[in-house]
C-alpha cells in the first residue's frame, strides 16, 4: 500500500476502465444461483461495429484491453505521469429486471475490484476505485455503499445513466443519503441506456451505433435537470455528482436555459432558493472525455470560459476505449493555471486526494 501521508503528484485521470481477464473472475465472487446464471454483459445491439478499444491496448499476454494492470501502468500512467487513475469497471448491472440479480453483479464487481486492482495490484496507491451499485434497488444499493465506504481506495459510487426514471426522483433517495453520510460522490457513466428495463433517452431507438453514441449526452442532461428541479441538492446539501463520459459543451446552454425557466416558473419549485446554475457549480463536476473539439481552439476555450471549466471540469482519458483522449494531444493550448486545475487540482479537491 502507499506510504502514509504520501501525496502523489501529476495527472489525475477520472475515467479508466479495468476489465476482468474473464467472467470467471467475477463468478468467483458470486453466490448461487447467480454464479451459474451470470454470462457477463454489454450494450447489446449498440456495440461499436469497428472496434471498442484501442487496438494497441490488448495486453502482450492476451486478454481483454484493460485486464493487465502492469501493461496499463506502462501504457497509460507511466507514459503520461499519472498520479491517480480513478477506476470505473463496466458491470452493466443496471439493465436487469431482477433487482436481486443486478445487486449480486454489483457486489461481485466490488469484491473483485477491492481484492485485485485496489489491493494486490495497488502497492503504491495509484488506483482509486468506484463502488458499483444497481439502482433498481436503492435500499440494497445504499447497503452496498455502506459496506465499502471505509475502504481507503474507494473514492466514489458509480451507476449507469441508463434508468427507468430521471435520477432526481425520490425513489433514488436512499442512494443519495448513503453517498452523503459517507462523503462519497455519485459518478454517472453511459451504459444500459435503452437496454433491458431502461428507457432510451432519445424519442425511440436509434438505428446505428453512431447515432446512439452521438446522443449519449441526452440522458446526462435529463438527469441533471431532474437533480436540480427536484431539489436533490437542497435535500442533501452534501451530495455531489460527477458526470463521466457524457460530453461537456452542452453544459453552458443547459444551465442558461434552466436559469431562464426558473425565473419564470420558480413558484413550481419553491424549494429552490438559488438559480439552477449555482447548484450545478457547487455540486456537479464533469469529466473531459469525450471532449468536443471544434476546428477553432478559440471556440473551445470560449466554451471552457462559459462553463467555468476551472471549477467544474476534470480530466479523463477513457482508457482503453477507442475514443481515448490523450492528455498531450486532445486539448488546446490554455493558461497553465487552467490546465493544472483541469488535469489535477479539481479532481484532487473533489475526491480528497491530498
Domain annotation covers residue 212? yes
Share of the chain above pLDDT 70, in %: 98
- For residues 23 and 95, is the Cβ–Cβ distance under 8 A? no
| pLDDT confidence band for 6 (50 / 70 / 90) | low
Q: Is the pLDDT of residue 352 over 90?
A: yes
Q: Is the pLDDT of residue 1 over 60?
A: no
Inter-helix orientation angle 276-283/217-229, to 10°:
110
Question: Which DSSP helix (H) or strand (E) runs through 23?
Answer: helix 23-27
The pLDDT tens digits for 97-107 are 999 999 999 99
Question: Which DSSP helix (H) or strand (E) runs through 232?
Answer: helix 232-235
Average pLDDT value for the chain: 94
Determine the pLDDT at residue 53: 86
Determine the pLDDT at residue 323: 86
- Provide the whole-model pTM: 0.96
The pLDDT tens digits for 321-350 are 988 999 998 899 999 999 999 999 999 999
- For residues 257 and 201, is the Cβ–Cβ distance under 8 A? no
- For residues 249 and 193, is the Cβ–Cβ distance under 8 A? no
Determine the pLDDT at residue 45: 76
Q: Let me know the angle formed at the C-alpha of 231 by 170 and 87, rounded to the nearest 5 degrees.
A: 75
Domain annotation covers residue 69? yes
Domain annotation covers residue 5? no
Q: Mean of the pLDDT values across residues 306-331?
A: 94
Domain annotation covers residue 6? no
Q: Give the residue carrying C-alpha cell 446464471.
A: 37
User: How many independent structural domains does the chain possess?
Assistant: 1
Domain annotation covers residue 81? yes
The enclosing domain of 113 has a CATH number of: 3.20.20.140
**pLDDT higher at 41 or 60:** 60
What's the CA gap between 146 and 35, in Å, rounded? Answer: 24
Domain annotation covers residue 115? yes
Domain annotation covers residue 65? yes
Domain annotation covers residue 25? yes
The pLDDT tens digits for 151-169 are 999 999 999 999 999 999 9
Q: Is the pLDDT of residue 4 over 50?
A: no
Residue 157's domain spans which residues? 11-351
The pLDDT tens digits for 7-57 are 788 999 999 999 999 999 999 999 999 999 999 887 677 888 887 888 788
Determine the pLDDT at residue 154: 98
Determine the pLDDT at residue 106: 98
CB atoms within 10 A of CB 220: 26
Phi-psi sector, 89: left (phi>0), alpha (psi -120 to 50), beta: beta
Residue 265 in grid coordinates: 416558473
Kindly report the three-state secondary structure assignment for every residue of 270-333.
CCCCCCHHHHHHHHEEEECCCCCCCCCHHHHHHHHHHHCHHHHEECCCCECECCCCCCCCCCCC
Q: Is the pLDDT of residue 268 over 80?
A: yes
- For residues 281 and 312, is the Cβ–Cβ distance under 8 A? yes
Amino acid at each position: 500500500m502507499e506510504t502514509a501521508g504520501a501525496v502523489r503528484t501529476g495527472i489525475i485521470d477520472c475515467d479508466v476502465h479495468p476489465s476482468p481477464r474473464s467472467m470467471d473472475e467475477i463468478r468467483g465472487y458470486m453466490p448461487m444461483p447467480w454464479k451459474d446464471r451470470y454470462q457477463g454483459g454489454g450494450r447489446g445491439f449498440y456495440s461499436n461495429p469497428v472496434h471498442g478499444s484501442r487496438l494497441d491496448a490488448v495486453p502482450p499476454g492476451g486478454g481483454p484491453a484493460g485486464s493487465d494492470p502492469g501493461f496499463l501502468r506502462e501504457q497509460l500512467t507511466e507514459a503520461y505521469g499519472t498520479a491517480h487513475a480513478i477506476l470505473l469497471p463496466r458491470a452493466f448491472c443496471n439493465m436487469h429486471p431482477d433487482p436481486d440479480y443486478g445487486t449480486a453483479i454489483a457486489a461481485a464487481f466490488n469484491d473483485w475490484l477491492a481484492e485485485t486492482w485496489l489491493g494486490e495490484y495497488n502497492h503504491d496507491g495509484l488506483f482509486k476505485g468506484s463502488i458499483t451499485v444497481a439502482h433498481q434497488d436503492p435500499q440494497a444499493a445504499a447497503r452496498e455503499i455502506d459496506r465499502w465506504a471505509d475502504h481507503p481506495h474507494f473514492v466514489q459510487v458509480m451507476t449507469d445513466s441508463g434508468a427507468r426514471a430521471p435520477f432526481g426522483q425520490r425513489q433514488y433517495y436512499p442512494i443519495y443519503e448513503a453517498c452523503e453520510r459517507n462523503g462519497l460522490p455519485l459518478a454517472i457513466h453511459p451504459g444500459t441506456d435503452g437496454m433491458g428495463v431502461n428507457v432510451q433517452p432519445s424519442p425511440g431507438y436509434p438505428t446505428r451505433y453512431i447515432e446512439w453514441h452521438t446522443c449519449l449526452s441526452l440522458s446526462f442532461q435529463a438527469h441533471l435537470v431532474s437533480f436540480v428541479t427536484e431539489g436533490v441538492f437542497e435535500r442533501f446539501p452534501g451530495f455531489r455528482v460527477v458526470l463521466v463520459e457524457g460530453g461537456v459543451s452542452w453544459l453552458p446552454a443547459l444551465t442558461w436555459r434552466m436559469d431562464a425557466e426558473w425565473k419564470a416558473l420558480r413558484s413550481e419549485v419553491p424549494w429552490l432558493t438559488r438559480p439552477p446554475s449555482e447548484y450545478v457549480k457547487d455540486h456537479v463536476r464533469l469529466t473531459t472525455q469525450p471532449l468536443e473539439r471544434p476546428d477553432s481552439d478559440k471556440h473551445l476555450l470560449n466554451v471552457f470560459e462559459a462553463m467555468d471549466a476551472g471549477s467544474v471540469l476534470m480530466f479523463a482519458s477513457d482508457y482503453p476505449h477507442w475514443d481515448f483522449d490523450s492528455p498531450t494531444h486532445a486539448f488546446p493550448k490554455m493558461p497553465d493555471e487552467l490546465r493544472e486545475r483541469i488535469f489535477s487540482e479539481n479532481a484532487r479537491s473533489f475526491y480528497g486526494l491530498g
